[in-house]
Amino acid sequence: MESELTPFAALKGNTAVVTGAARGIGFQIATTLQGAGMTLLLVDRDGDELDRAVKDLGEGGPVVPVVAELTAPDGFAGVESALGTVPPLRVWVNNAGVVSHQDVADVDMAEFERVLRVNAETALRGCQVAYRAMREETDADRAIVNLSSLLADKALPQRLSYATSKTAVETITHYAAQEWGRFGIRVNAVSPGYVDTRLTAWPADDPRQVAKQEAVSTLALRRAGSVEDIANAVLFLASPMAAYVTGTVLRVDGGWHLA
């Protein structure tokens, strides 16, 4: 049995929202927060994948799935409604996102705007929903964690749209942390480097995979990250262990920023 003296005991029995939770990093974040004893409110646009995620989480704890297209005008309505059926909200993780690959000269404006809507606008709207749900709970630690990317700081070919959206996520993080700190709401971001997920499982001869392997070989730790690496960083920022941490972008990149 988990000791009540562990630094994550304060999370137990409370609710965490994770967007983009059906697969990859989002699913691992959900798994890790469930392991800390949290009730999960999982959000994804893909109902079939979300059903599989709930099944895979098994009997580890209460899970409430919400199928939602977060870019829609009423995309968060189902989430807000579900918040009324679960224990107090203590953790909100904005993980929903898409990738895009286009040379700068060829960037299509519709695609550029789509990536910004999915990655940045939904993060902002998620922060706003979390703030409204959390601001009156002044007697407890509350945390919002946004998923950024090291590409916000480090340029790679064909990543302009994605990198721009993640730069916006970091700016949202800084402003929300500054404005909401007086309510005791902490807002931070995790900035992953190369992480092995289904989205990055390219064929060996794919130029993106070749570039990835070359880049990984230059990292201080000489390996790509795992979804567990990212989820553990989120757990830290979500927990009272990070009670004096806000407005921070935590790099989880194996030393990529040093290369």
Q: Is the pLDDT at 89 greater than 90, yes or no? A: yes
User: Per-residue confidence at 156, pLDDT binned at 50, 70, 90?
Assistant: confident
Mean pLDDT of all residues belonging to the chain: 93
162 within 8 A of 115, measured Cβ to Cβ? yes
Residue 34: name the closest of 98, 96, 93, 82 by CA.
93
Task: Kindly report the backbone phi and psi dihedral angles of residue 192, in degrees, each rounded to the nearest multiple of 5, phi listed first.
Answer: -75, 150
Compute the distance between CA of residue 219 and CA of residue 255 in angstroms, rounded to an integer: 6
Q: Is the pLDDT at 2 greater than 90, yes or no? A: no
User: Per-residue confidence at 87, pLDDT binned at 50, 70, 90?
Assistant: very high
pLDDT in tens, 186-237: 999 999 998 988 777 789 899 888 888 888 899 999 999 999 999 999 999 9
Tokens standing for 84? 């009324």
pLDDT in tens, 95-149: 998 888 888 888 899 999 999 999 999 999 999 999 999 998 888 899 999 999 9
- The active-site residue, picked from 162, 175, 194, 244, is 162
CATH superfamily of 9-254: NAD(P)-binding Rossmann-like Domain (3.40.50.720)
Largest CA distance in the chain: 57
Report field, pTM of the whole predicted structure over 0.75? yes
Compute the distance between CA of residue 128 and CA of residue 184 in angstroms, rounded to an integer: 15
- pLDDT value, residue 4: 52
Residue 98: name the closest of 188, 154, 166 by CA.
166
- From the CB of residue 160, how many other CB atoms can be counted at a distance below 10 Å? 20
- pLDDT value, residue 5: 55
pLDDT in tens, 10-42: 999 999 999 999 999 999 999 999 999 999 999
Tokens standing for 230? 């990212």
Q: Which amino acid is at 239?
A: S
Q: Residue 162 catalytic?
A: yes
Compute the distance between CA of residue 179 and CA of residue 250 in angstroms, rounded to an integer: 20
